[in-house]
Chains A and B, each alone.
Chain A
Amino acid sequence: MVITEAQVPITGEDGIVASRQRAREVARSLGFGAVDQSRIATAVSELARNIVRYATDGRGEFVIREVQASGRAGIEIIVSDNGPGIADLDEAMRDGFTSGGGMGMGLPGTRRLMDEMTVDSALGKGTRVTIRKWRR
């Protein structure tokens, strides 16, 4: 069976493992190679950990699906939460920046692993990160 879409709630540490494993399965079934599977799963792990660490209740959601654009096929992942939001996005995207005792490579690292990344964040409302990777 080909899995092309999945939706996983992220709750606590188990959610980090569940979402990255799911992302890997979907990436594999969409025909991504081993290196891209690793990049995609790791990017999801970073984003899921941000939610567990920063979102007010440690909860969020993760949606993964196949996307097509100008003849290319790819994978799109949306990770969202209703947490505090990101106060300074430019700062959050800088290597080495951290507000929670991590290594500060969550967002910048994730961007390097993926082809596209968009962050929408509203203070007090939440954050939504969309990442895409195109199949070569």
Chain B
Amino acid sequence: MVANAMPQKIILTGMVPEVARAPIIRIGSTLIVTVLEDLHDRDALDLQTELLQKLEEAGSTGVLLDLSVVEIVDSFLGRMLNDIAVGVRLLGAQMVVAGIQPAVAITLVELGLELRGIRTAINADRGLVLLDRLVRQSDKAFRNSRADARPTGAGGVRGHH
């Protein structure tokens, strides 16, 4: 199958073995993960580890997780998506899940998994736009907090010595 052959060509950083069903590619400061096939539980766990390791290694600021070809998200995978989102946030990056199919969305709601706290977009294009905005907002908040700290910190206190 084509899907199985693809990951070999797009491995960009070595060391960490790829989850063949969900290759991770790096473009600039963004990691893009496309889930290509029905994930076994261990694939989802491996993906979590590999994604967070790559994020840290590459110093990426954003992750786009494309689920547009995923036909089943059960409570296990739903919980993994949540855990991955939390992990990405703890590493100071932003994540957007893109392309959840309508049938999958309905199933998730009925299952009781609302995936609160996960940012979503209808497709990968919009996902990248949203991700870019989230990263910019985060950068801006960081710059503002440094600007606010300057007058009281560096300037004021030192002046008395």
Interfacial residues, chain A to chain B (CB-CB below 8 A): 13-14, 16-17, 20-21, 24, 34-35, 37-39, 41-42, 45-46, 49, 95, 102-103, 105-106, 108-109, 112-113
Q: How large is the interface on B (under 10, 10 to 19, 20 to 34, 35 or more residues)?
A: 20 to 34
- A24 with B75, Cβ < 8 A, contacts A95-B112, A105-B111, A112-B110 known: no
Does chain A have a CB within 8 A of B150? no
Candidate in B71, B102, B104 with the most chain A CB atoms within 10 angstroms: B71
Verify B106–A35 contact, CB threshold 8 A: yes
Q: Which residues of B contact A41 (CB under 8 A)?
A: 71-72
Verify B112–A17 contact, CB threshold 8 A: no
Report the separation of the CA atoms of residues A14 and B38 in the bound assembly, to the nearest whole angstrom. Answer: 11
Which residue of B76, B79, B104, B110 contacts A113 across the interface (Cβ within 8 Å)? B110
Q: Which residues of B contact A38 (CB under 8 A)?
A: 71-72, 101, 103-104, 106-107
Output the nearest chain A residue to B39 by Cβ-Cβ distance. Answer: A17
If over half of B's interface residues share one DSSP class (helix, strand or loop), that class is named, otherwise mixed; here it is helix
Residues 108-159 (chain B) with a chain A CB within 8 angstroms: 110-113
Which residue of A16, A17, A109 contacts B110 across the interface (Cβ within 8 Å)? A109
Top 4 A-B pairs ranked by shortest CB distance? Answer: A38-B103, A45-B74, A109-B111, A35-B103
A-B contact pairs, 9 of them (CB 8 A): A24-B72, A38-B72, A38-B107, A41-B72, A49-B41, A49-B74, A103-B78, A109-B111, A109-B112
Output the nearest chain B residue to A52 by Cβ-Cβ distance. Answer: B41
Report the separation of the CA atoms of residues A34 and B76 in the bound assembly, to the nearest whole angstrom. Answer: 21
Verify A16–B41 contact, CB threshold 8 A: yes
Which residue of A17, A103, A113 contacts B107 across the interface (Cβ within 8 Å)? A113
Q: Which residues of A contact B79 (CB under 8 A)?
A: 103
